[in-house]
Structure 1
Amino acid sequence: MSTITAQRMTSAMGAASAGYRTLWRWHFYAGLFVMPFLVVLAITGTLYCFQPQIEPLLYPHRLIVEPQAAPRLTEDALLAKARAAMPADAAAVTAPIASAPDRSTEFVFRLANGEKQSVYLNPYSGEVLGTLSVERRFMQVDRMLHRKLLLGKPGELLMELAACWTLVMIGTGIALWWPREKTTARAALLPRFALKGRALWKNLHAVMGIWLALGALAFVLSGLPWTGSWGKQFKALATAAHLGAPPGSWGGLPLRSALPGVHTAGQGGTAQARTAHKAPNAHDEHSAHEANMDSMPGMVMDDLPLPITPWAVGNTPVPASADTHAAQALPLGRIVALVASLGVSSGYDIVLPTTATGVYTVSYFPADPKQERTLYLDQYSGAVLKDIRYGDYGAVSKAVSYGTSLHMGRYFGLANQLVCAVISLGLAGMAVTGCVMWWKRRPQRSLGAPSRERAAPPMRGWKTGLVLLGIVFPLMGATLLAVWIADRAIFARASHPA
């Protein structure tokens, strides 16, 4: 081999090594932040995917009944028995409608202190089977851990940051794995168990990572639209661009029921006119606030007492109470029959009207996104004020709907659940192997970040990618800048050989 060729190879290897170390350093920082959250997300996400199988095991005496040949009691009879079993000042707010012969009937009530509680009844006999706190039931706690770490808004922002930094971890991880010399696909994609010590852990980490990369990317991208900060902004942007919620969701139709014999101002007018709210007298201020909790001006579908709503309609306005005239509303049974005649027979939730001008809100969120429906029915006449379907969604909302169904393990049944579990638990395994690798190479009294080379390569493509990522996800952009400053100012001497 000529001297010139050898020099070129040495130079190329040096450049590759320099780039490798820079990528490794950022991969290390991303993993350092992401890994604890990744374990929480993996465990809670896996549990939530199997909610249909887990909840009946946790609450069999409330959720499961013996199927009978006798006809089921009417929804109105069951609701009356549920009301009798709850405190007098409790208000029925939601009725989940399910027709499975072995499942109980559930109604959700809001108590005077604001807490929501479910009451369960035997649909054949009307026997009250028990109650559960909506906020404290196992799967709701699991869901709030998954979304917010049970820390409210700060936890929600932390989880959003973890998802964004996972993108950095995936990108740098693939770049680190990418073969830099001639090798076979088998050697690159299959673990080498003949290795020992840290080399084995490194190989397992790399091979697992490349197999899980696509699934992890899909998880992150399908979960981000539901985040509390970036997700809300993204939804608003998609709606403004007519790619999210149906444009002109309400058209010229009223946002509230029309009281029989009473002219309601603003029907068919602008959204502002339709959401005008009559201020209560001081004497009735507290009671009016309690009565209107589910229909206050400015509220959107995401604010309703529903377990979950289709992403596309989350920002659509909620009917607003503007009057307190008494009138006889249609019974729940009539509404259930009407919804069935419209093609939705089971597996949906009805938000009950709590004011004189409220409406029945029907939210159908099935496994198949194409079947999603959101209906608003006049509580007195049963007239359909609005029927929002998948075909009305914009392109972004359609994509998010499919991503959500896949993310939650709902779209193709048990197989979807198992795929989600494998990806989730695999990512937890990645966190564990990454921690083991760090533990084995950590220096004493040091963070153990990979060393920074003296002559860093330009890496303009990677820098451009990070800048674009920071622009698309501003919260992450701020933390990227903070990490870069800390790396320069605090961890400048933190190094360890490969």
Structure 2
Amino acid sequence: MTLLTKPPAGTPGAPDASTSTPPDTREAVERGWFRAFLLRIHFYAGILAGPFLLIAAISGGLYAMAPQLESAIYARELHVPAVADPLPLSAQVKAAMDHAGGAAPVMVRPAPGPEDTTRVLFADKTLGESQYRTVFVDPGTAGIRGDLPTYGSSGALPVRTWISNLHRSLNLGEPGRAYSELAASWLWVIALGGLLLWIDSIRRKRGTNRARTAKPRKVNGRTRTLWLHGTTGTVLFLAFMFLSATGLTWSANAGANVSTLRTALDWTTPGLNTTLTGAEAAPAGDHAGHGSGGVSATSPSVDPAMFDTVSSMARADIISAPMIDIKPPAKPGTAWSVTETGREWPASASAVSIDPATGQITNRLDFDDFNLAAKLTRWGIAAHMGLLFGLPNQLALLAVAVGLAAMVAWGYVMWWKRRPTRGSAWAAGRPAPRGAFLRAHWAGVLAAITVMVALGLFLPLLGWSLLAFIVLDTAVGCWSKPSGRR
């Protein structure tokens, strides 16, 4: 893929003094520079980013089904026999506080259903970032059902936390996030380029009357694999674009640029004001369920009876979702808050803040008043996590993960069948000539370079890896022998 330089003489697929290339072929190459450019980008990106995409697909598929694994593994902590008349929330919180040695909770999540436990979260300096010691309480008896670390505001238990961190960073911490950002950055490029190439191949076949459908008439091993690869990519195209876009919002480098853009366009998610001095609230985060927690690390002394009062007041106002989080004041001068945290459709995020001294609602945040961008962000993230539509959402994500993994495998199979040891150039299909990019019209070259630079600035890892691809292809082109062997 020497995108910006012409190939040395003798390079396969390039003009050579010793190779007689008919004028009509040269003209066709010049006219088809964009297709050749796409083909080399698609090939190199697929070969070099394929491992990252494969890991993301496998770990993402596991994460999609993590709720079922979690429910089975931690059945005692999460579930109880159906409770018809639960004890007051204050009694449940007090039982958890006694179990935790009198520590004050930083958040309480009342049982959302009759067969669920109540979660009482405590800060614990021995745990990692965004992790909390969570005591699970039986709402019917106030008995302690378990004591486990949970992660983020989604309350992921250890198994789901491990899978989540595998998908996010290979469990390598902050440095490992580069892998998932590379995968998300290249997924949309590969998917879009593949779709354009697939459409072009159909057009070419129809134009020459070789076929009337996308599936080749003459089927052999490689053409069958190519058809499976292209058809699957076309069917899953929108899903790939969606996962890439939502995944980039979690990334370290591109995610920061996305946040800056959202702020500039006033697309941020509004935050609940919990200060009692009238100060403005900071925008709320959207990724707490799959990343950082959004729970205060410390909390002053808490009266368990206040949980009954606060819960009743919130339920009488705008809070109606079964799953809610109740947070005591994080420091003096701040209010209690009650927030809807369920992400199932119709996902909501309404919240109220309550003054502990007066028992009055001081601020309210109605999800219906969110701007469209904030709502789409919340829904998109919930869908990416497999939470928005429950089991159908999870199964759809699993199917997409399997499809992506299969496409990566098919891509490597096609490359292997045309690998250099068999005497053909490195391309998935008819070899695309090097140097075609510079034989295009200057306006096309300038437009393509401008787009690549802009994308590289907004998606830094995409830009640096694209530059690496160009350097690699240039080196391969210079290293190639005149005989065409690599």
Which TM-score band applies after superposition, normalised by the shorter structure? Answer: 0.7 to 0.9
1:80 alignment partner in structure 2:
94
More displaced, 373-382 or 26-35? 373-382
**Superposition deviation, residue 448 in structure 1:** 7.3
How has the CA–CA distance of structure 1 residues 405 and 270 changed in structure 2, closer, same or farther, with 3 Å as cutoff?
A: closer
Q: Does 1:138 align with 2:171?
A: no
Q: How does 1:335-484 map onto structure 2 within 5 Å?
A: 335-345=310-320, 346-365=322-341, 366-368=343-345, 371-444=348-421, 449-450=426-427, 453-456=433-436, 457-458=439-440, 460=445, 462-484=448-470
Higher relative contact order (CA 8 A, sep 6+): 2
Task: Please tell me the residue identity of whatever aligns with 2:116.
Answer: R
Aligned to 1:219: 243
Give the C-alpha shift of residue 476 in structure 1. 2.1
Matched residue type, 2:402: L
Cα deviation for residue 64 of structure 1 reads: 1.4
Q: Report SS of the residue matched to 1:429.
A: helix
Is 2:96 aligned against 1:96?
A: no
Structure 1 residue matching 2:467: 3-state secondary structure: helix
Q: CA deviation at 1:66?
A: 0.9
Tell me the equivalent position of 1:25.
40
Do 1:370 and 1:391's aligned partners in 2 also have CA atoms closer than 8 Å?
no
Deviation at 1:216, TM superposition (A): 0.5
Cα deviation, 1:299-355, whole Å, max 9, x if unaligned, reads: 975599x646999xx8xxx9999x98x897961111111221123242122233343
Structure 1 unmatched runs, 5+: 1-6, 258-266, 272-298
- Find the residue that maps to 1:119 and give its secondary structure: strand
5 Å-filtered alignment, 1:137-286, equals: 137-177=158-198, 178-179=200-201, 180-183=203-206, 195-246=219-270, 255-257=274-276, 267-268=277-278
Offset, 1:72: 0.9
Change (3 A) 1:415 1:270: closer
Counterpart in the other structure of 2:472: 486
1:383, distance to aligned residue in structure 2 (A)? 2.8
Q: Is the 8 A contact 2:420 2:426 kept in 1?
A: no
The Cα offsets for residues 427-483 of structure 1, whole Å up to 9 and x where unpaired, read as: 111111112222333335999743662541425354444333223323422332233
Deviation at 1:209, TM superposition (A): 1.3
Specify the SS of the correspondent of 1:181: helix
Pick closer, same or farther for the CA change 1:387–1:146 going to 2, 3 Å: farther
How far apart are 1:61 and its partner, in Å? 1.4
Aligned residue identity for 2:455: L
Shift in Å, 1:51: 4.1
Whether the 8 Å contact between 2:191 and 2:237 is mirrored in structure 1 is yes
Quote the offset at 1:375 in angstroms: 3.0
- Structure 1 CA distance, aligned partners of 2:279 and 2:232? 57
Change (3 A) 1:196 1:270: closer
Residue type of the partner of 1:419?
Answer: A
The CA deviation at 1:126 is 1.5
Give the length in aligned residue pairs: 440
Partner of 1:264: none
Cα shift at 1:158? 2.7
Q: Specify the alignment match of 2:122 in structure 1.
A: 109
d(CA) in 2 for partners of 1:190, 1:454: 27
| Contact 1:330/1:379 (8 A) holds in 2 | no
Q: Which of 443-452 and 136-145 deviates more?
A: 443-452
Among all aligned residue pairs of Structure 1 and Structure 2, give the percentage whose two residues are the same amino acid.
29
> SS in structure 1 opposite 2:420?
coil
In the superposition, relative to structure 1, how do residues 363 and 16 fare at CA in structure 2: closer, same or farther (>3 Å)? farther
1:93/1:183 CA distance change after superposition, 3 Å: same
Could you tell me how far apart the structure 2 residues matched to 1:14 and 1:380 are?
77
Secondary structure, in 3 states, of the residue corresponding to 2:114?
Answer: coil
Give me the whole-angstrom Cα distance separating, in 1, the residues matched to 2:213 and 2:111: 46
Mapped partners of 2:325, 2:217: distance in 1: 52
More deviation, 471-480/156-165: 471-480
User: Contact 1:369/1:390 (CA < 8 Å) preserved in 2?
Assistant: no
Cα–Cα, structure 1 residues 374 and 442, in superposed 2: closer, same or farther, change >3 Å? Answer: farther
Matched residues in 2 for 1:348 and 1:187: separation? 58
Q: Equivalents in 2 of 1:356, 1:68: separation in Å?
A: 36
Alpha-carbon spacing, 1:21–1:410, altered in 2? closer, same or farther (3 Å): same
CA contact (8 A) 2:311 2:338 kept: no
Matching residue's letter, 2:241 = L
Whether the 8 Å CA contact 2:253–2:459 is kept in 1: the answer is no
